[in-house]
Amino acid sequence: MIHLLILGGTQEASALAKVVADANLRAVLSYAGRVARPARQPIPCRIGGFGGVEGLASYIQTNNITHVVDATHPFATQMSRNAVLACAQTKTPLIALTRPQWKATEADRWRHVPDLEAAAKALQGPAQNVFLAVGRMHLDCFATQPQHRYLLRLVDAPHTPLPLPNATPVIARGPFDRAADRALLQKHAIEIVVAKNAGGDGARAKIDAARDLGLPVLMIDRPDLPQRHQATIPQQVLDWLAHCGTDRGV
C-alpha cells in the first residue's frame, strides 16, 4: 500500500499533488513553513521542518511512508541532502521531481554568478535601480551593497525591518506574468535584475521581461545537489511508483 511523502514548495510539487489525488494514491505534501499561507492542495499537508535527517527518518517510519518525492526548489539544497540521507537510512525509495534550468538565448544579457554572495559582490559600484527577486530569506547578503535602490518581491509583507536602507517591497506570489513584470521593471526604471536559476515557468517572467527591455540579469547558478533518481514530469513519478517496490517490503 503506497503512502507517498512529497517534499513540496514548488509548482512541480503542486502539479504532482493533483495527479496523485486524481489517481487516489495516499500521499502527504510537506511545506517548510516559509510563508504565511501556502497554496491549498488536494491532498493532506504538513508544515514545518522535520528536525534534520533523523527527524525525517523518524517521520518516514512513524507514518509508514513507502516512497519519497523530493519536489523542492533546486536551491533547497539542505532539504534535498537530508532526503537522500534519510531515505538511504530507512531504505525508502526516493526520486526528485525537478525542472531543467533556464538557458540564455542570443538576446539575453546574463552574467552568471555562483551564489548569492557573488551576486552581491557583482553589484559593487555606483547606485542603480535593482530588482531583487530572490525571496525574503537571503536579503542580508545584499546589505554589503546598500547604495542601490532595491525593488524587492516578497511572498509576505516583511514583519522585521529590511536589511537594505533603500528598498521598496512588492508583495506578490508567483507564478508571474511577462507583461506585468515588464510593466513593473519599467515603472521602477529597473537597471538590473537579480535572479536564481530556478527553472520552471513560475519565476521566469522577470527573465523574459528583462530580455524584452534589454536589461542585464545577474543569474545565480544552481548549487550542487546530491546524486539521486530524477524525473521532470509527474507521469514519470507515477511510472516509478508502479515499478519500484519498497525494500522494506511494506
Which residues sit at the interface with ligand NAP, rule CB under 6 A? 7-10, 30-32, 34, 49-52, 55-56, 72-73, 75-79, 82, 135, 196
What is the SS3 assignment for 84?
A: helix
- Residue 211 CB neighbours (<10 A): 20
Between 21 and 212, whose beta carbon lies closer to ligand NAP? 21
Between 41 and 82, whose beta carbon lies closer to ligand NAP? 82
Residue 133, contacted partner among ligand 3Y8, ligand NAP, none, CB below 5-8 A by kind: ligand 3Y8
Displacement of CA 123 from its chain's centroid (Å)? 23
Between 114 and 245, whose beta carbon lies closer to ligand 3Y8? 114
Between 50 and 176, whose beta carbon lies closer to ligand 3Y8? 176
Residue 77, contacted partner among ligand NAP, ligand 3Y8, none, CB below 5-8 A by kind: ligand NAP
CB of 119 to ligand 3Y8, least distance (A): 12
Task: Compute the residue count for the chain.
Answer: 250
Between 10 and 90, whose beta carbon lies closer to ligand NAP? 10
For the record, the C-alpha cell of 97 comes out as 521531481
Strand partners, 27: 4
Q: How far apart are CA 172 and CA 246, in angstroms?
A: 41
Using the 8-state DSSP alphabet, how is residue 25 labeled? -
CB of 131 to ligand 3Y8, least distance (A): 8
Which residues make up the interface to ligand 3Y8 (CB under 6 A)? 9-11, 14, 31-35, 38-39, 73, 133-138, 153-156, 173-176, 196, 198, 200, 202-203, 206
Residue 50, contacted partner among ligand NAP, ligand 3Y8, none, CB below 5-8 A by kind: ligand NAP
Output the CA angle 46-47-53, nearest 5 degrees.
90
Residue 131, contacted partner among ligand 3Y8, ligand NAP, none, CB below 5-8 A by kind: none
Q: How far apart are CA 175 and CA 137, in angstroms?
A: 19
Give the CA distances from residue 187 to residues 103, 151, 183, in Å, rounded to whole numbers and listed in that order. Answer: 27, 11, 6
> Which residue, among 4, 16, 72, has the nearest Cα to 41 in the 3D structure?
16
CB of 130 to ligand NAP, least distance (A): 18
Q: Which residue has cell 540521507?
A: 85
CB of 186 to ligand NAP, least distance (A): 26
Please, are residues 192 and 217 in contact by the beta-carbon 8 Å criterion? Answer: yes
Between 71 and 209, whose beta carbon lies closer to ligand NAP? 71
